[in-house]
A and B are shown apart, each in its own frame.
Chain A
Amino acid sequence: MPAAGVVVATGAISLDHARAEVEQLGPVVGFLAAVLVLAHFCDVEGLFQACGAWTARWSGGRPARLLTAVFALASVITAVLSLDATVVLLTPVVFATAARSGVRAKPHVYACTHLSNTASLLLPVSNLTNLLAFAASGLSFTRFAALMVLPWLVAIGAEYLVFRWFFARDLSTAAPGARDTGEPPRLPLFALVTVGCTLAGFVLASAVGIDPAWAACAGALALAGRALVRRRATPVTVVKAAAPAFLAFVLALGVVVRAVVDNGLADALGRVLPGGTGLPALLGVAALAAVLANLINNLPAVLVLLPLVAPTGPGAVLAVLLGVNIGPNLTYAGSLATLLWRRIVHQHDHGVDLREFTRLGLLAVPTALGAAVVALWGALQVVGS
């Protein structure tokens, strides 16, 4: 945020451009706040705990079956409630589920981290990168989903095959007679119905031409309102769930990136970015986006690339999304910039086997990304852009 102040104060970006950027990002940030609140109160309603208990019962202590269940669960949670929900709320539940089932947790926690990226392709709400691209693409909510459903399924399928092979040894190990998976969980009916209605609201809103953010807003208000009435939340916790500091960060980041783009990055990237919407061009755009995401993190990457590809049409915008969403699985902490920053700021050893992390990424990212781009190209032919 101080950086945003600096670029405005030094004239690196004109006040008009800064204001235009903030006005453009405003509705996106509102949408994001609603999704964050929705996910938070789904957790308060016990949705994630119930999901953990269901996967434990369905898998019956068999590690490969548990991995399948975790893949399904993490894919749906990421698509509907965003990648934040998977990373922050679902990962601990999956870890606890694996431990309770007598199964090694590593493949399942890896699945959560990979799918929080790879499975965030489906809906505009799944990832902040999508919300930004959605605003720039001119697509309707349903058209976005219709074009992305095939790439989403194909990318998840590719990850699944890589995981089954990569973790074959861990997935063959389970303590016999794993402990009982406990009582059947209480069905968090209100949360499920609210999320279902919100999804229906997205479809309906885009059919009649209303901003789908209102549907997210209604869902968030329903869940937060119920928590307030039942005294499980206070107005302060509702505001905190919307992560105001993060929302402000997104606006500030938009201004900083706009300043950098205005000052020459656009020309430089414009020269290497392939034009057109054929399969080779889409592959090139997605690969460039993935590389950029691994260097500078995917939020700045998508902010940089969107103005450059938006004139080419929705196909190129969605190819950028495939790159910036799947790409971060290659680098621990999502990008070299974050990794270096954290290395410098916190001299803290997290004990992650970085060679193993990168080996998995080198297998999974090109496989999932390549297959997803081909699927997107196919979807563009069938659905039409």
Chain B
Amino acid sequence: MKKESILFLFLGVFWGLMGVVYWFWSRDVTGAVMLAGSVFLGLIPGLYLYYWYRRSGYHLRAEDRPDASIEEGAGVIDAFPDNSIWPMIFAIGCMFGVLALVFGTWLAIPAIAFGLSAMIGFTAESRRGGNI
């Protein structure tokens, strides 16, 4: 995780320096604020990754070590979900949601119906180990 965190931290610091130069040179609030926000988007993930790297006792994972063999990664990677209809239902809900912004609030009814059922579906699916 070390190099990953350095990547984000570098970007955050770089945008910070750029932002400081930009602010003192231009005094433009818009750009300076957007650059300041970008600094946080670099630093927060960077510090988060570094925090976990430190908490692991500066442990290098098998994927961080050039000399690692495939066997070292043996075991379970993770649980991956199977087919699921709910992402599509949720997206349809979102679509009705934005159409409600254009054509009238009555479209919020299908938006909420699709959105809520998708949320329930998602949750129940995760709890039972999920299937459509």
Q: Do A and B bind each other?
A: no
Write the residues of chain A forming the contact surface with B, with a CB cutoff of 8 angstroms. none
Write the residues of chain B forming the contact surface with A, with a CB cutoff of 8 angstroms. none
